[in-house]
Structure 1
Amino acid sequence: MKFTELSNTIFSNVIEDYHKTDNVDTPVSNPFEVKTIEYYLYLKNWIDTVQWHLEDIIRDPQIDPVVALGIKRRIDKSNQDRTDLVELIDSYFLDKYKDVIASPEAKINTESPAWAIDRLSILALKIYHMEQEVNRPDASESHREQCQKKLSVLLEQRKDLSEAITDLLGDIENGHKYMKVYKQMKMYNDPDLNPVLYEQKGK
């Protein structure tokens, strides 16, 4: 099975698992062995799925500001967890291809494999929720038709992105491309780099 086929299957299963309760506080029940690539893929999409719904909740115009602040901080934490998992998945690829000798003509890609997988995870969520709109019984016919057009584009995008990731992994495996992992170094979460935080420490 291609890596993208594995990823897409796991992502679809995660989204179905989440919607058994459709509750952002449902604890993750990861069926895979800890520290396997399948485990990381499942956890990655679970984080994305919960965050997707937190983003919906926080846009409620009637939301209590205190509740909204709590959700905003939860989203910030989720973004950091998401970034950490992407770097873990890239570490998997680095280890897998560590013995490959890149050709002198090899070039680096614009994004690492795991960041492309991150996009695939988000696409799975877009597809699921667009399908929900296509089949929404209380929606107008024109709404469903417009959503069907958008769904067709999303499905084509997933096909194209899956093929591009497969090609990238093949190029890395064959030494035609090489990869690096750049730590994201998010500054706003770091008490030594965010001036609002380190100025508070000095008081």
Structure 2
Amino acid sequence: MNALLANDIFRQSIQHYHLTDHVDAPSQNPYSSNDIGFLLYQKNWIDTVQWHLEDIIRSPTIRPDELVAIKRRIDQSNQDRTDTVELIDSWFSDLFQAITPKDGARMNSETPAWLLDRMSILQLKIYHFREQVDRESVSDEHRQKARQKLDVLLEQETDLARCFNELIEDIQTGNRFMKVYRQMKMYNDPTLNPVLYGESGK
């Protein structure tokens, strides 16, 4: 597993989504369910759908009932995103379980999967800023500003890829180690959110 492979899968997911460009289009994940590529594709598909839901919800003409429905869908998407990140981290944890960290090894606060989360979102930004650079219906100034931001994003792509590869290498050589802390989100849990358990009478 390396950054090049991960980014290729993220870009593949984004390209597949834009074949229909519709938030209700079903995912066509091409990877086997026991392949890490399956989780990476799934992760980016969630991100890509949510990206477009975030666009829709900001429409000035959206009806209140539509807004509420999409907001709840985004809430569920955030939960799905977190769950998928944790599955990816579990995959890495299993991968590295036989490695004994060296004396003095440092713990990395950001796990591989949460770094991949940032890389996935970054690929979406790159895709959509490229769209702005190529827009023919806007001014040269608009395209130039989009180009400047795209250049920064491409630099960040290189930097995050390097950080990911170095983190994986450091864990494999025992120079760093990872711990997986579950997010333990409370607001979707009817036993922990006081609004939810208050309404249910528990």
Query: Alpha-carbon deviation of 1:107?
Result: 1.1
Q: Counterpart amino acid of 1:166?
A: N
What is aligned with 1:91?
90
Query: Alpha-carbon deviation of 1:3?
Result: 1.4
CA distance in 2, matches of 1:202, 1:104: 52
Give the 5 Å matches for 1:2-81: 3-81=2-80
Q: How many residues align?
A: 202
Contact 2:53 2:74 in 1 (8 A): yes
The C-alpha deviation readout for 1:100-127, integer Å capped at 9, x for no partner, is 0101201111210100000000000000
Percent identity of paired positions between Structure 1 and Structure 2: 55
What is aligned with 2:119?
120
Q: Find the residue that maps to 1:50 and give its secondary structure.
A: helix
Give the 5 Å matches for 1:43-192: 43-192=42-191
Contact 2:109 2:178 in 1 (8 A): no
Q: Find the residue that maps to 2:164 and give its secondary structure.
A: helix
The C-alpha deviation readout for 1:133-181, integer Å capped at 9, x for no partner, is 0000101000000000000000000100000010001000000011011
Q: Find the residue that maps to 1:132 and give its secondary structure.
A: helix
Query: Is structure 2 residue 200 aligned with structure 1 residue 201?
Result: yes
Query: Alpha-carbon deviation of 1:58?
Result: 0.2
CA distance in 2, matches of 1:96, 1:202: 44
Q: Normalised by the size of structure 1, how large is the TM-score?
A: 0.98
Unaligned runs of at least 5 residues, structure 2: none
CA distance in 1, matches of 2:126, 2:162: 17
Q: Counterpart amino acid of 1:126?
A: K
